[in-house]
Chains A and B, each alone.
Chain A
Amino acid sequence: MFTPIAWNNLFSVGFAALVATALVVILFSLGVRLSVNADHHKAQAVAGDAKALRTEAFNRAVAYALFALSFGAVVFGVLLIIPGVIPGIK
């Protein structure tokens, strides 16, 4: 009565779910890590330490970029499921 499992489709879902989840969480976690790094240098930066100021600014900028990237990855994932929005994806 039941036909064999179409593994291709199931693997596609599994692969997409694993990769998308890992990617978004890696980007966001790195963002969290760097934003905490930035906070650790904040006191010294406020006190006038030029190196700490640069480190804080760099960490915070990259952290925000990573948050933006993770948000972008989510938006791209949603667009993938709408037919015809991404060229070549039905």
Chain B
Amino acid sequence: MSPVVIVGLVVALAIFFDFTNGFHDTANAMATPIATGALKPRTAVAIASVMNLVGALLSTSVATMISVGMVNDPGSLKPEIVFAGLTGAILWNLTTWFLGLPSSSSHALFGGLIGAVAAAAGLGAINFDAIAQKIFYPALFAPIVAGLAAWLATRIAYVITKRATDDEVSTGRGRFRYGQVFSSSLVALAHGTNDAQKTMGVITLVLVAGGLQADGGKVQLWVVLAAALAIALGTFSGGWRIIRTMGKGLSEVKPAQGLAAEVATAATILASSKLGFALSTTQVASGSIIGSGLGRAGGKVRWNKAGQVVLGWLFTLPAAAIVGAISVVIVSTGPAGIIIDAIVTIGVIVAIFQISRRNAVTHHTVSSEIEEASEVVETKRQRKAAAKSGKANK
């Protein structure tokens, strides 16, 4: 099969992956402002879409890290391997989404690529140093930093606005809603800078592997524009589905807490993007929402729920790597293998979308990981309510 055809397939799949990323992550950027009433859902989705587009155009450090950093000699790779890695990532991502398992699109992408390259060219082909410094360590570090920053900022906001009568009206804490218009837009912008660049990196990698681009260090303008538009369109389309359901699980997030969490998320992602760290934006946002929950008086961690969230984070990369490795075994059999892999991937995509369209859209079928992370922290009010209902049951 001609390399140009495979490169074309990879570009189309990568753009599709980017679209689903925007589709899925609208909830992460806009969950808290919609929940606190800072923004009307339609406005929030429109803002998120535009900000993702702008963010995607700001920097290419993360894209360059993927196109030249992850693999020791990108020029020696076959485009089929990138194709297999990408199909592995998409299959893992959609399956976990369909089954409602916590997962990260970014880690699925990295896992799929790493698994495919390792299975096809051996472990020596992978640049473990770059992966450790730019993906693995930041993945462990960034959610903690974001959580710490959000915890600190929430404490500061509550201390500064404290009054003798500590309710929302006399403290004016409801006014943090107006700030959330900017902070949530900033999260969407930060999301665009980091997540859209992953697609740019994969497309550049396959262009180098296919011999259509000599140097992986430069991302072509059409690649930047295509990735930016795909993530913005995905955000816009995903939003219409999400706005019907979102915010119900976040009723405990107060405006001051929401602003602190969003600023912490955006600051962590933007600083990371500058240094070329490819993060899971969902994990950073989850870290922030947990930190801000603990920053409020009486917030306590539900450790079993926290364990579930962290387990999902740890599981994604190796699981997607295995799927990527299986994909590369199929693809390595020749053109028939590539066709089978493509048919399986497209079949799964179509089947999952058909099934999901038949299912009613409810809070349970369309929710964000941020809502899940918010359940990790139990507030004083929730504990009182649980104690009261326990007494009533007795």
Contact = CB atoms under 8 A, between A and B. Distances in A.
A81 B58 contact: yes
8 contacts: A2-B136, A13-B268, A13-B277, A18-B148, A21-B267, A28-B179, A32-B175, A77-B270
Contact of B275 (A12, A70, A74): A12
B133 A26 contact: no
B264 A10 contact: no
Interface string B144-187: 01101110110011001101000000111101100100100010
Interface of B: 58-59, 123, 128-129, 132-133, 136-138, 141-142, 145-146, 148-150, 152-153, 156-157, 160-161, 163, 170-173, 175-176, 179, 182, 186, 189, 193, 256, 259-260, 263-264, 267-268, 270-275, 277
B267 A29 contact: no
A24 interface: yes
Given A13-B138, A32-B161, A32-B172, A6 B133 contact: yes
A50 interface: no
A25 B259 contact: yes
Q: Which applies to chain A's interface (DSSP): helix, strand, loop or mixed?
A: helix
A28 B186 contact: no
A43 interface: no
Contact of B157 (A20, A29, A78): A29
A25 B161 contact: no
Interface string A16-43: 1110111011101110110110010000
Contacts of A32: 160-161, 172-173, 175-176
Contacts of A10: 137-138, 141
Contact of B175 (A35, A77, A78, A80): A35
Given A25-B157, A29-B157, A17 B132 contact: no
Contact of A78 (B136, B142, B189, B256): B189
Secondary structure at chain B's binding surface: helix, strand, loop or mixed? Answer: helix
Contacts of A29: 156-157, 160-161, 256
A26 B128 contact: no
Contacts, number: 126
Nearest to B142: A13
Contacts of B142: 13
Contacts of B175: 32, 35-36
Contacts of B157: 25, 28-29
B110 to A, nearest CB: 15
A3 to B, nearest CB: 5
A22 B259 CA distance: 11
Contacts of A82: 58-59
A21 B277 contact: no
Contacts of B150: 21
Contacts of A3: 128-129, 132-133
A18 B275 CA distance: 16
Among A14, A28, A39, A71, residue most surrounded by chain B Cβ atoms (within 10 Å): A28
A28 to B, nearest CB: 5
Nearest to B128: A1
A29 B159 CA distance: 9
Contacts of A5: 132-133, 137
B59 A81 contact: yes
A83 interface: yes
B263 A21 contact: yes
Contacts of A71: 182
A49 B44 CA distance: 42
Q: For A14, A21, A32, A36, which residue has the most chain B Cβ atoms within 10 angstroms?
A: A21
A18 B156 contact: no
B156 A26 contact: yes
Contacts of B172: 32-33, 35-36, 39
Nearest to A3: B129
Given A32-B161, A77-B270, A78-B270, A18 B152 contact: yes
A58 B137 CA distance: 48
Contact of A13 (B145, B179, B193, B259): B145
Contact of A17 (B189, B260, B264): B264
A28 B145 contact: no
B260 A21 contact: yes
A17 B147 CA distance: 10
